[in-house]
Chain A
Amino acid sequence: MKRLLARHETYIFGIIVVFSIIITAINPNFLTLENAFDILKSNAFTGIMAIGVLFVLISGGIDISFAATATIAEYLTVLICLRVGGSMLFAFFSALVIGIILGAVNGYLIDRFAVPPIITTIATMNLYYGLLIVFSKGRWIYALPQYFRTFADIRVITLYTAEGLPYGLSIVTALWFVLMVLSAGLLFYTRLGRSIYAVGGDAISAKRVGVSVKMVRIFVYAFMGAMASVAGIVQALLVQAVAPNSIVGKELNVIAAVVLGGASLAGGVGTVSGMFLGVMLLAIVQNGMTLMRVPAVWYDVFVGLVILFSVGSSSWKVKKEKVGTFIDIEPLSPPMVQEGGR
């Protein structure tokens, strides 16, 4: 119990519960299965990118270019699929190749030239995005291959509303969940995963225990690229159109969601479950504001406040946790019995 209270996740979960109660009180439609499935579907895109961001943050880095990567992977893949045909599997494969290459380039540059990752990825963001706009001339693609539509409509679980309309757990939500489970396993149960934490904690120490810091760096940025490219395809599935400018600009919200979930910008800290809660908190705030008919322009203000409040409250808690030796205070003879510390 005490362990649970000490966890960041518990706080975020608490905040989510409070928000849910408030929103439901105003609009009971919030707390329905239908709405829940809807939130999970429309946030799969952000959520998948957040997995990549989580890895990068744990390793002590940061990536600003992933939205550009996602767009390029999405745009090029759809173009290729339209030219040469293919299938959904091929689409994911092609996007992954593009995403991994672009991400690995980031990782290589950051490790090779020791330029701070924020600078490197701002540069590559501009480069990637700039090239895309130049070559696509900003054109949208409306006519996606038919299999994009059929795939997007797949439901893993199907239920029916009182009026007999079908709803349920979308395939993209399932994809997001599968990726989260795999990533959590990778972070917790593999040597690679622990190396990422080690590098984020102290890169020099990591080198001294035999971790190849370079490989870890390249891996996390390549992984970020992979997640971004999958998210790009998910975006195409959700919107059923591809716009070169629709994703870029969302980077900071994704990073904020991950930090909200307990990852530290200083590196070494973060969990998949926390990240999920962080994404959900922002999603619920957004959804709730729509349901409560708050004008959309207020959204950013609320997001800012929510981030300040939750990040602030948990770091205040950390500050209270004191560093100390385990002192076993000598008990006084009664009547003043001092409780033995640890």
Chain B
Amino acid sequence: MVSGDSSITMQSSFLSMQQINKRYTGVQALFDVDFDIQAGEIHCLAGTNGSGKSTLIKIICGVERADAGATITIGDSVYTQLSRKDALQHGIQVIYQDLSLFPNLTVQENISIGDTMSGSKRFISWKQSRTIAIQAMEQIGIALPLDKKVAHLSMADQQLVAISRALTKDVRLLIMDEPTTALTKKEVDALLSVIKDLNKKGVATLFISHKLNELMTVANRITVLRDGKKIGCYQASDIDAKKLEYLMTGTTSSYTPYTLNKERAGTPVLCCTKLSKKDNFHDIDLTVYPGEIVGITGLLGSGRTELAHSLFGLNPPTSGTCTINGEPVALKSVQEAVSMGVACVPENRLSDGLVLDQSISKNIVMTILDNHLSSLGLLDDEGLHEKVLEYVEALQIKISSPSSAVKTLSGGNQQRVVLAKWIATNPTLFILDNPTVGIDVAAKSSIHSIIKALAEEGMAVLIISDEIAEVLYNCNRVLVMNRGRIIGEFDSSSTTENDIQAFIDFHAM
């Protein structure tokens, strides 16, 4: 499992940095961090949400400047501050947490844009651009349509585009800030094997992920950050996931499986029969009773997200019927869905879930303004303020003040704001599409217990997740979707992770 391959270690340091400090208004994101990465090494960065991982990466690739006093050594060059151009010249490529793609440009151009914008060429060769794009995608074994605009791709496909873009020929250090959040095992495996190949060629990789197992299988060394300070740097062969979790958080968590304590009874909250949407999913029969947590897993492009969108009125089905709390619904609009008590945490939190420039509190209360109107139709500010603090507390959102803009939060904390926003509506049917993507282990289990508590009070929950463990340990039933159909159902009290993985692998072939 662990590949602490000591034969290739520690001959040459590709990059080393000392005394890295970074202060944003109100927070010290990094304190005196030292860091180094060897050529040909796979190095992981671990830490809870807001511990400064993305900030450190942004300094390494030159998009943010370290505060005075830093030294950054790459090969023979020594810098006190690194610019993006310098970093690119040293072959430092990044897959950003927010992907940083161009929605208005095609897949081809997004992938080849690094080549277009570097060097001294003033003219574009579209033929070359096409070759670059095709080759980059071949490396991870995908073939997205080259002429499609990135804005029209799903989150997972966008992530694949971002990965392809970073795999240029002159890459020396590949940095990945949670590159696999929306991907399933198949794509993750392809990516990991590419990383291993690159490392054989002497390319260093720096990797951030909250999927600790994934991290342990590839890493040579792991640097742990906590609250902006470096806790230490460990050989992956010396620690395991439990130890790592302890280093990151100071505690360890454990999963308690969810069992339905009542019988499935009464009117089902959700009942779909033969729901179909052309090119998305087909003949979906799905019934969810109050108090149930139903998990849906499967391969990428199995139609799960599209089904969730349909249930939330975003993607009207072409045929079939659906009732919510016994009442038939047309699923034609979000307003209808919300008024029926449906809430949906979207997969793509940046574009669908948040107003990034607005404050944290405004984002949280956005969905419940109607419930907090005074008799004059004005907003009840005090009530709202209390609500905000309540959710910030319950979800342990790390913020300097509720009035700072959401875009200043770390990725995982942004995701918690989305959750807070929808939990606040107190829905009867709660749909969560990959709800804990990018959330650290400790916070993950606290979010899971919040969801379980809500279900115990009678809410019906639908969780879509690529992590089989997540659905298995938090749901009473797990459904597997493949190519637009539900192909299997498992009772989580009598199933193991391996059973489901084997079932998926079998059907994927």
The residues of B that contact A84 with a CB separation of less than 8 Å are none
Is A211 part of the contact surface with B, judged by Cβ < 8 Å? Answer: yes
Consensus secondary structure, chain A interface: loop
Q: Give the contacts of A173-226 with B (CB-CB under 8 A).
A: 188-195, 197-198, 200-202, 204-211
Shortest A163–chain B CB gap in Å is 50
Is B169 part of the contact surface with A, judged by Cβ < 8 Å? Answer: no
The residues of B that contact A330 with a CB separation of less than 8 Å are 282, 482-485
> Which single residue of chain A is at the shortest CB-CB distance from B507?
A330
The answer to whether A204 and B100 touch across the interface, beta carbons within 8 angstroms, is yes
The answer to whether A200 and B104 touch across the interface, beta carbons within 8 angstroms, is yes
B103's partner among A192, A201, A204, A209 (CB-CB below 8 A) is A201
The residues of A that contact B116 with a CB separation of less than 8 Å are 191, 194
Is B153 part of the contact surface with A, judged by Cβ < 8 Å? Answer: yes
Shortest A274–chain B CB gap in Å is 14
Interface size class of A (residues with CB under 8 A): 35 or more
Among A22-30, A252-260, A286-294, A319-327, the stretch in contact with B: A319-327
Shortest B45–chain A CB gap in Å is 19
Interface size class of B (residues with CB under 8 A): 35 or more
The answer to whether B104 and A197 touch across the interface, beta carbons within 8 angstroms, is yes
The answer to whether A191 and B85 touch across the interface, beta carbons within 8 angstroms, is no
Please report the C-alpha to C-alpha distance between residue A271 and residue B118 in the assembled complex, in whole angstroms: 24
The answer to whether B100 and A205 touch across the interface, beta carbons within 8 angstroms, is yes
Consensus secondary structure, chain B interface: loop
Is B321 part of the contact surface with A, judged by Cβ < 8 Å? Answer: no
Please report the C-alpha to C-alpha distance between residue A328 and residue B484 in the assembled complex, in whole angstroms: 7
Is B457 part of the contact surface with A, judged by Cβ < 8 Å? Answer: no
In the complex with contacts A210-B88, A323-B152, A329-B282 CB distance below 8 A: yes
Shortest A61–chain B CB gap in Å is 15
> Which single residue of chain B is at the shortest CB-CB distance from A328?
B483
> Which single residue of chain B is at the shortest CB-CB distance from A60?
B104
Is A169 part of the contact surface with B, judged by Cβ < 8 Å? Answer: no
The answer to whether B281 and A327 touch across the interface, beta carbons within 8 angstroms, is yes
The answer to whether B105 and A197 touch across the interface, beta carbons within 8 angstroms, is yes
Among B232-240, B301-309, B331-339, B369-377, the stretch in contact with A: B301-309
The answer to whether B84 and A325 touch across the interface, beta carbons within 8 angstroms, is no
A201's partner among B85, B104, B121, B300 (CB-CB below 8 A) is B104
Is B80 part of the contact surface with A, judged by Cβ < 8 Å? Answer: no
The answer to whether B94 and A208 touch across the interface, beta carbons within 8 angstroms, is yes
Please report the C-alpha to C-alpha distance between residue A328 and residue B101 in the assembled complex, in whole angstroms: 25
The answer to whether B303 and A327 touch across the interface, beta carbons within 8 angstroms, is yes
Shortest A308–chain B CB gap in Å is 24
Shortest B384–chain A CB gap in Å is 30
Is B450 part of the contact surface with A, judged by Cβ < 8 Å? Answer: no
CB-defined interface of A262-277 with B at 8 Å, one 1/0 digit per residue? 0000011100000000
> Which single residue of chain B is at the shortest CB-CB distance from A341?
B279
In the complex with contacts A202-B100, A204-B100, A330-B484, A194-B113 CB distance below 8 A: yes
The answer to whether B484 and A327 touch across the interface, beta carbons within 8 angstroms, is yes
In the complex with contacts A191-B117, A201-B104, A330-B482, A325-B122 CB distance below 8 A: no
Shortest B353–chain A CB gap in Å is 14
The answer to whether A325 and B109 touch across the interface, beta carbons within 8 angstroms, is no
Shortest B149–chain A CB gap in Å is 9
The answer to whether B113 and A325 touch across the interface, beta carbons within 8 angstroms, is no
The residues of A that contact B67 with a CB separation of less than 8 Å are none
Shortest B312–chain A CB gap in Å is 14
> Which single residue of chain A is at the shortest CB-CB distance from B154?
A325
Is A317 part of the contact surface with B, judged by Cβ < 8 Å? Answer: no
